[in-house]
Structure 1
Amino acid sequence: MAHPASLTRGISPPPKRKASTTGVADLTRVGDGADTQGAEGENEIKNDKVMLLDANPMLAAIEAGQVQIRDHLEYFAKHFESVLRPPRSPRLSIDDFRLLYKRNQQPHGRHFVVHQHDHPISGVHYDLRLQFSETSAISFALPYGLPGNPNSVRPNRMAIETRVHNLWNNLIESASHATGSLLIWDTGEYEVLDRPPHRNNRATDDEASDVEVNPTGATQSQSERLCAAFQSRHIHLRLNGKRLPLGYTIAMRLPSQDATKRPRTSRIKRQRMEPVIAVKRAKEKAAAADTDSDSGTRSATIDRTEAALADAALASEPEDERQDAEIRTSNAYPGATNTIGSIHQRHWLVTIDRKLSGFRKSRRSGPDKERWVGSWEPFNVEGGHRERSVVTGRLAEEVMADEGIKGFVGRANWRAILE
């Protein structure tokens, strides 16, 4: 089984810190009378890879990929049952939480989650994750959360592509000193709607693309429509969650100047990636030499030698650094696959699709003149001190307390968009 992805990597959250023997032991709490003092347990801890299939590991260890468990859904569902708070806002029952995830554990699943993440470095932000295959979800970081006011003076929000996550990451609600708190702000299923025709049939570089969504959608699942819309750089997305209003729809657009953007990497990161790139290029040369009958044995031998040397160089790198390089190359965590073509750190624009959300312009005189009115009340995302989990009803500080995290200092100066 592939090693589970770690949320302690990339932009949200930052690169994984190497765990000491003590650190792994501290992160792993074994329940049900299991004994970790035997020789086998000691060997697992020494190798910094702990596999506890039937015990009760702490959430932080699961997030960090230090523990493998058989059933992520049941683990998190049972944990949430033990930390429920009295209902003060819309809540998804634990049974419905289970059914939602089980229903989408298939190639054409369309599960989504919006996480509120209070990170010690990047601060409070919101992560939108959209399932596009049986195992993987594309991820966007939204610094100010989803837009909720069709009449806002700041209608556009930024959404930054991050790593492709494993689908089970959609279930996480936990906290640690390294990653801060993570709670489920909303979750449900999405629909990809047809792209409305542009006014006057004008087509600019930002409105036209080589790939268009099937206008009928007759033969496409929602996840297939998501992939096609993602490639077209325009996504009209209805999020059917527990917290978001009925019919809530957003429009996501990737401006042309960001369409081919590649993330910048530091000199140190580039050096770490060199063995991975060398392996890839040398193997491509060797494959080309094998298929070219005129190249001769010597050329193929040289290419295979280059590949072997590159493999040896890669093997000499520490495991964490090799894995980091592979994650940066694929833009996907271990266990996830980036078949959708996500590119790290591209900046999308997100706004409410007013018409598809059921809004229309008021024709009345007075203060409502020319304002958008609809069937649901506008909302604002108010940040870590006000927003509660849609599953457990917890605030971020309560998630911290439940996980035994004390003395956490988050990044200050986050301000909600209230107008």
Structure 2
Amino acid sequence: MSGKRPSSPGLIPNPFIKKRNLEWTLTPPHAALPTAPLLPVDPSPSPSPTNGSPPTTAATESGSAEIDNHLTHFTTHLASHIVPSSRPPALPIPSYASLYTAAAGNAHGAHFVIHQHDHPIAGNHYDLRLQINETSSASWAIMYGLPGDPNSIRLNRNATETRVHCLWNHLIETASSATGSLLIWDTGTYTILPRKSKHAPSSDPSSPASSPPPSPGPHPAATPPPKTPQDLLHAAFQNRKIRIRLHGSRLPDPYVLNLRLTKSEDAAGRTKGAGTRTTRRRRARKSELQPQLETSDDEDDDEAVGDNAEDVPSGTDEPAHGEDLSLMERDIREIEDEHVRRTNSYLGAKNTIGSVHQRRWYLSLDRRACGFVQSRTKGRSRWKLEQGPGSNSHDGDMPILSTSNCTDDTSIDHGRLHFPFYVRGTDHERSVVTGRRGVDILENEGVNNFTPRKGWAPVLS
């Protein structure tokens, strides 16, 4: 028997491949290209708008620039723009900073700010922002500012919900041609007061004192922790009736407001916020029916009728977007805008209170809580302060200006307003921190092409 055939010296070539194709070779593309000479690396970074100088306040406010420490950034910026005067602003920079430090990141924080915002489209209005959690604040836009005359024929205001902001927005004073000027009209802390009911029995001073409560048993129940101001604000917000005292540096002390939301305005606001379209006939029918305000406090006799002319147009607090954006930047902005519309909060803020965009509340001065008593003079009802120097009045200017309603310096308590007071607009109102007017902030930020909207007039009666 013959042995096995020896192994083949090589593989059998594929008969289907032509011989000329077997001679092909593959060369990587980079090997065929000439090698570029290496350039020396410049250790210095390339120039950028933010290198060497901090970003502008407008860029920070709009979100196009990010900073690590908002408090340091804005305290440094505002401290360099304080208007020189014989009388400093009512709120010094250290106090301005300590107020924010005590509230930021604190579940017990109760910070508020009132911004004067001179917007090119909406015109001048005032934004009331209240801290709702450690990092965020709910916001209402008020066309004519806070009421200050207890006998005014226009005592009530429309307060329109806007976006939930980051708490660091409370620090901002800025200006741009797209958003106008923004100044701090007042800032401080707030207290949520219990809501008074007109049906509650009044206390009788001649009645004997009630017996003391029984002593606890051997195993007393654990008492729940006291509610924080944020908890109280959340509960009042859900109940659609907020009774709040503002402890500012400019407002009179005490200064108490009532914020109320009717069921019809609540439903209308939620429908608008959900983007539900209604027919023209239905809108006309709604405009004919004025909602009756539901109240349950001492100001029940004040009829709050909504005035559509006082509503601040939507979109006034939206950040301005530049036109020279790349395609990727536009996509990112669209995603961010969708998040804002869906959550009614800007990036970094949390809408933990259930705020609804463009929902209209009614705001009024709680006259009794502010120390006023009702009296009748010549058949007319008037509200007067019980006692104290608060009966002196002056206008909304900071004391660094000469005031039109006051010639006695003793009535000015370091910039604090006294009843009655009137919010007079951008030509008169000054920042409580820097003493600047809106035109000063525009100049400091290098804005020279801003065109304000005309037609705003203060409520002086």
Is TM (by shorter chain) over 0.5? yes
- Distance, in Å, in 2 between the alignment partners of 1:131 and 1:36 is 40
Which of 412, 419, 427 is equivalent to 1:385?
A: 427
Once the two structures are superposed, the pairs formed by residues 335-346 of structure 1 within 5 Å of their partners are 335-346=348-359
1:124 offset after TM fit, Å? 0.2
Greater displacement, 85-94 / 111-120:
85-94
DSSP-derived class of the 1:187 partner = strand
What is the TM-score of this pair, normalised by structure 2? 0.64
The residue that corresponds to 1:415 in the other structure is: 457
DSSP-derived class of the 1:251 partner = strand
Structure number with greater Rg is 2
Question: For each residue in 1:176-230, what CA deviation from the matched residue of structure 2 results, as whole angstroms up to 9, or x when unmatched?
Answer: 01110000000000000010112478xxxxxxxxxxxxxx997211111011101
The residue that corresponds to 1:371 in the other structure is: 382
Which of 437, 453, 456 is equivalent to 1:395?
A: 437
1:86 offset after TM fit, Å? 3.2
1:323 offset after TM fit, Å? 1.0
The one-letter amino acid of 2:95's match is D
The one-letter amino acid of 1:238's match is R
The residue that corresponds to 1:96 in the other structure is: 95
What is the TM-score of this pair, normalised by structure 1? 0.70
**Judging changes above 3 Å, is the alpha-carbon distance between structure 1 residues 54 and 351 closer, same or farther for their aligned structure 2 residues?**
farther
**Judging changes above 3 Å, is the alpha-carbon distance between structure 1 residues 362 and 76 closer, same or farther for their aligned structure 2 residues?**
same
DSSP-derived class of the 1:362 partner = strand
Structure 2: stretches of 5+ with no match in the other structure: 1-43, 202-222, 277-327, 391-418
Question: For each residue in 1:249-275, what CA deviation from the matched residue of structure 2 results, as whole angstroms up to 9, or x when unmatched?
Answer: 0000001111122226879xxxxxxxx
The one-letter amino acid of 2:139's match is S
- Distance, in Å, in 1 between the alignment partners of 2:345 and 2:249 is 28
The residue that corresponds to 2:407 in the other structure is: none
- Distance, in Å, in 2 between the alignment partners of 1:186 and 1:252 is 18
DSSP-derived class of the 2:381 partner = coil
1:81 offset after TM fit, Å? 1.0
1:241 aligns with 2:252: no
Structure 1: stretches of 5+ with no match in the other structure: 1-34, 42-49, 202-215, 268-314
The one-letter amino acid of 1:248's match is Y
- Distance, in Å, in 1 between the alignment partners of 2:53 and 2:237 is 40
- Distance, in Å, in 1 between the alignment partners of 2:63 and 2:329 is 22
The residue that corresponds to 1:58 in the other structure is: 56
1:64 offset after TM fit, Å? 1.7
How many correspondences in the alignment?
313
Once the two structures are superposed, the pairs formed by residues 16-415 of structure 1 within 5 Å of their partners are 37=46, 55-87=53-85, 91-105=90-104, 106-199=106-199, 219-260=226-267, 261-262=269-270, 263=272, 318-363=331-376, 365-366=377-378, 370-374=381-385, 375=388, 376=390, 377-415=419-457
1:89 offset after TM fit, Å? 7.8
1:316 offset after TM fit, Å? 12
Residue pair 2:113, 2:184 contacting (<8 A) in 1 also = yes
1:351 offset after TM fit, Å? 0.3
DSSP-derived class of the 1:370 partner = strand
- Distance, in Å, in 2 between the alignment partners of 1:194 and 1:104 is 22
Residue pair 2:89, 2:434 contacting (<8 A) in 1 also = no
DSSP-derived class of the 1:185 partner = strand
- Distance, in Å, in 2 between the alignment partners of 1:150 and 1:319 is 48
The one-letter amino acid of 1:322's match is I
- Distance, in Å, in 1 between the alignment partners of 2:337 and 2:234 is 26
- Distance, in Å, in 1 between the alignment partners of 2:455 and 2:365 is 25
The residue that corresponds to 1:21 in the other structure is: none
Q: Percent identity?
A: 46
